Structure 1
Amino acid sequence: MSSTTSATNTGAREQVPLAAGPQPVEDWLGATVESQTRGEAILVAKAERRHLNAAGFVHGGVLFAIADCALARAAILPQAGATTWAHISFISPARLGEELVAVARATTEWGANALVDVTVRVGESVVAEFRGQARQLTQ
């Protein structure tokens, strides 16, 4: 999670440092951070053979993981956090070689919590809609 302060809903977005640099799960997924600003993040991953299910589509667990990584980068918490719950709706399939783009936006923040919406697309087509809550971990 980013170590910046709470996001605002004003028009201008402030560029923030990446959350602790590359994350191991993002490396495993082949996801890269296209942008990360206060309360927003965009991750991009190309669908690889290892991401596919038996039907030849990108596995739902991979789509969930990409969306969750985007949530983690968009949630602006003062300290490290974790996803406490999440829901995903699979809208359309993604296929081998397609570019998955996960756009995350923190919609509500209170105390040590952030509610984040993520849309995963291939081109103009929505593949999945994801909503989750991140909570700051106490030490």
Structure 2
Amino acid sequence: MERATPAPVQQGPAHAMFAADEASRHLGIDLRMAGDGTAVAYMAVTAQMVNGHGMAHGGYLFLLADTAFAGACNSHGPVTVAAGADITFVAPARQGDLLVATAHERTRYGRSGVYDVTIQRGDEVIAEFRGRSRTLRPAKEKP
């Protein structure tokens, strides 16, 4: 099975967030690039990610897309979280597949944003994800 090769350490708000993301890193997700409203994340489908139909469980695909989405919407700096998201599964992924999730900012307005993420295996689209973000207000300092 092909495993994602760790990328060189990068700097920036999205990479700082990813360094603390135990869930994504535990699954072997690698945030390869994040900046200017875009991000790319890789994940190899393992035996533990396969459902009873022999396909990658949709929850893992959602998590991969959500990780790329988080990288893109946090690339600007302020802490930004998901306000909502949905995914459309296009083709099955299977054990051993190396998946690439590419996130692109579509628009930001006020504290809100819309991001699209495409998950691919090679040139084949596996899923399309749309995430809606919300930038948090800084916590007020106590006197």
> Could you list the runs of 5+ residues in structure 1 that have no partner in the other structure?
1-14
What does residue 5 of structure 1 align with? Answer: none
What does residue 7 of structure 1 align with? Answer: none
3-state SS in 1 of match to 2:17: coil
Give the stretch that moved more between structures: 121-130 or 73-82.
73-82
3-state SS in 1 of match to 2:54: coil
2:37–2:76 Cα contact (<8 Å) kept: no
Q: CA deviation at 1:21?
A: 4.1
What does residue 125 of structure 1 align with? Answer: 124
Q: CA deviation at 1:134?
A: 1.1
What does residue 42 of structure 1 align with? Answer: 40
1:77–1:136 Cα contact (<8 Å) kept: no
Q: CA deviation at 1:77?
A: 4.8
RMSD (CA atoms): 1.6
2:45–2:97 Cα contact (<8 Å) kept: yes
Once residues 73 and 31 of structure 1 are traced to their aligned partners in structure 2, the CA distance between those partners, rounded to angstroms, is 12
Once residues 16 and 121 of structure 1 are traced to their aligned partners in structure 2, the CA distance between those partners, rounded to angstroms, is 26
Once residues 19 and 72 of structure 1 are traced to their aligned partners in structure 2, the CA distance between those partners, rounded to angstroms, is 12
3-state SS in 1 of match to 2:66: helix
Which aligned pairs between 1:2-17 and structure 2 lie closer than 5 A? 17=12
1:44–1:101 Cα contact (<8 Å) kept: yes
TM-score when scaled to structure 1? Answer: 0.83
3-state SS in 2 of match to 1:73: helix
* Larger of the two Rg values belongs to structure: 2
Which aligned pairs between 1:1-139 and structure 2 lie closer than 5 A? 17=12, 18-22=15-19, 23-75=21-73, 76-138=75-137, 139=139
The structure 1 segments of at least 4 consecutive aligned residues displaced by more than 6 Å after TM superposition are: none
Q: CA deviation at 1:78?
A: 4.1
3-state SS in 2 of match to 1:54: coil
> Could you list the runs of 5+ residues in structure 2 that have no partner in the other structure?
1-9
1:104–1:119 Cα contact (<8 Å) kept: yes
3-state SS in 2 of match to 1:108: strand
1:31–1:43 Cα contact (<8 Å) kept: yes
- Matched AA of 1:42: V
1:82–1:137 Cα contact (<8 Å) kept: yes
2:104–2:115 Cα contact (<8 Å) kept: yes
Once residues 38 and 102 of structure 1 are traced to their aligned partners in structure 2, the CA distance between those partners, rounded to angstroms, is 16
TM-score when scaled to structure 2? Answer: 0.81
